[in-house]
Amino acid sequence: MKFTLISSLFALGILLWGCSSENVSGGNETFEGRVNGVSQKGPFLEGSSVVMQELDGNSLAQTGKSFRGKVINDKGDFSIENVSLDYPYALLEVNGYYRNEVTGKKSNGSIFMKALADVSGQSKVNINLLTHLEYERVQNLMNQNKMSIEEAKRQADREIFSAFYADVDYDKVEYLSIFGNGEGDAALLAINILLLGEESEASFMERFASMGQDLATDGVWNDSLLKIKIADFACQANLSGMLAKIRENIESWKIADVPAFESYVNSFWVNQYGLGKCDASNIGMRKRYTGGSDKSIFHNSAFKCSENGWVPYSTNEVYSNSITEECSAKNEGEVKVVWEGNPKYGYNTYNRCENGLWVRGDISLTCDTAGARVGDICRRTGSMNIFQAAGPNPTLPEYVFVYAGNGVWESQLESIKLDEECVKDNVGKKKISSYGDKRENTYYLECTENGWQFIDEGRYHCGVENAVSGDVCSFSVYGDSVHYIYYPVYSDEEDSVLIYGWEKCNYDSVLGCCPNGMNFQGYNPEIGFRELGGKSYYCNAGEWISTTIVPHQYTDSRKEGLTDMEYDILDLPKEASVGDRAGGLLESCSYGVVLNEEDGPKQGTFNYCVPQTYYRYRGDGSWTKETIDEFYEDQISVDDTPCGPSTWCCAETEGLKNIVHMDGDGPDRILQCDSGKIELVDYVLGRYEEK
């Protein structure tokens, strides 16, 4: 039913076309004799019907003269005898079964194809995919642009070929054959294979008709999804060796030599993926298909230029999506460190330009291989794909790498040769390894269920069995006294589970151990605060600081016997308005901090404490921690003012104040719109008591 409908539409198009006599260039040459040619999808089978309609030389309307013939063999050859034409233009249609180029077998269903030709110069006319696509486009060009048939056919041919290939030397489409020896013939066979793919006859005809209608409108193939689907088939056919099988199938028909269609099949998917040239100048270079439709099965895949053209390149490598700069021969080996995330939180990634692609690796990519000898050491401090806060972080780990040659830096663990295998029976066993300058090259390892793993010297010397918060472990390393303190090093998101570990500390014989980590009194305030001889001392990053202010939690008798969370919410009011903000009692204190050193209302050094956690009132006496969205909602948004898309400060908001909540240990800022500029006018310093 579908094929009959399409055929009827084509016939209707011819009738409408015939209504405009001014489109035709003229020509009333008569013709008598035989018209023959070859009909090919793959070759139409013997017995397929061929009908030829004479077209009026002035209007191209059907004159009523028709002639019938048939396909005379399984090569697709047809012949129409005793043709007598008063005009040289004819419409030919073949209908029947055909040989499938992809499977090599006879089709399961019949199809039809058309060709429009001038038989005055040559009585041989071929019917193929391109003559069928041309036929529909020619109608529109003649009706809409008032072109002659010769002009319309030339333009339609250019457009159809450019939909597949840019520079192909071809003859008139009605002269092309899938067994010809020209470029256009090889391209025709490739187009046959591309459009057919692995589709059924019905599905192929639906695809074919859809493409014909698409091209007929404006001469452009606009169906990007179909293009990608066909390109994926072509790429897979090349990768799987299917193209060789298709050649074998066609050659088994023993009709004629098969032209080099493979290069045109591959050219199609290479162009669709935007891979560009592949020749002797860029052998070994790689590219990724990232543009176009993400519906492609090869989207984000890598391809490598080889002697056989572009081929899919599959490894365990990970490629960067964040670097817009092209990786080329000019910047080969360059390493870029890219922050992934938002301005507040994220992680660093390390990416090196390698043969056309930015390959993601670890921090060892920043180790220089120039002049490196096997066994050389490279030390790097930083983070590797670890989620963290933006900005300086003095507690970032150190990584040690050993040069293994060929541009490869191995992790120190990979290079250490241990004399004992880590197996189930010795899980928990510890080892020490050193070489050269032992102060610089001593490493501690522990056997775990995942094999030998690095541990720090605190865990090696002190262990964790029976350790309690506040314990101090002291030992000597190459003649130097070293001290560690056992305390909670971090907590989970809800502050309900504390994770303990050994932290290196500076030891004072009177005040005790002050851990080298940053401000940590929120986890264990009894370690971070001391009162001695009427003076107060506060531990910050390994240094005991004499201070004049004391956080509430150190002096509040209500803290005894309460967990940090229970204490933190003691002073939250029972009544408030929904959405109100309040800070908990646990505070983070800073001493000797220069706030806004360059400008601002209060230049100088400050001691202050700010709440560690803020809460929002939910109603019915309930307070819960504020969310990220609530953290920002108190601040004025540019969308809430008439100032435009980039600022909340303008003439209409002159004098307006805006509070900006600071994340971490910094105090909130109060900003004000002053003469069109945003000025810092005050800080919101937290609660504190002076001693």
Tens digits of residue pLDDT in 202-221: 888 889 899 999 999 999 99
Q: What is the reported pTM?
A: 0.56
Tens-place pLDDT, residues 621-654: 899 999 888 888 888 888 888 898 888 999 999 9
Determine, yes or no, domain membership for 289: no
Q: From CA 246, how far away is CA 43, in angstroms rounded?
A: 15
DSSP SS3 for 560: coil
Give me the phi and psi of 183, to 5 degrees please: -60, -45
Select from 97, 43, 93 the least CA-distant residue to 68.
93
Same domain, 222 and 240: yes
Rg of the chain over CA atoms, in angstroms? 40
Residues of the chain whose pLDDT is less than 70?
A: 1-28, 57-59, 292-293, 343-344, 382-398, 412-419, 435-437, 489-498, 517-527, 596-603, 664, 691
The last residue of a domain, from among 601, 628, 655? 628
Same domain, 31 and 150: yes
Determine, yes or no, domain membership for 152: yes
Residue 582 burial class via C-beta count within 10 angstroms: exposed 0-12, middle 13-18, buried 19 and up: middle
Cβ–Cβ < 8 Å for 6, 113: no
Determine, yes or no, domain membership for 676: yes
Same domain, 657 and 519: no
Provide, for the chain, the percentages of residues in helix, strand and coil under a 3-state DSSP scheme, each rounded to the nearest 5: 25, 35, 40
Two tokens, residue 590: 């800073």
Determine, yes or no, domain membership for 140: yes
The last residue of a domain, from among 230, 249, 272? 272
Same domain, 23 and 164: yes
Q: From CA 420, how far away is CA 431, in angstroms rounded?
A: 9
**Crossing angle for the helix pair 129-145 and 183-196, nearest 10 degrees?**
100
Same domain, 126 and 168: yes
Same domain, 530 and 669: no
Largest CA distance in the chain: 126
Q: State CA 478 to chain mean position distance.
A: 50
Same domain, 128 and 239: yes
| pLDDT recorded at residue 608 | 84
Determine, yes or no, domain membership for 572: yes
The whole domain housing 551 covers 506-628
Same domain, 594 and 660: no
Same domain, 638 and 619: no
Select from 515, 545, 552, 509 the least CA-distant residue to 530.
545
| Sign of the CA dihedral with 43 first, then 47, 48, and 52 last | positive
Domain count, the chain: 3
Determine, yes or no, domain membership for 448: no
| pLDDT recorded at residue 383 | 60
Same domain, 28 and 89: yes
Same domain, 608 and 634: no
Determine, yes or no, domain membership for 384: no
Residue type, position 60, single letter: L
Same domain, 651 and 553: no
Determine, yes or no, domain membership for 302: no
The last residue of a domain, from among 234, 249, 272? 272
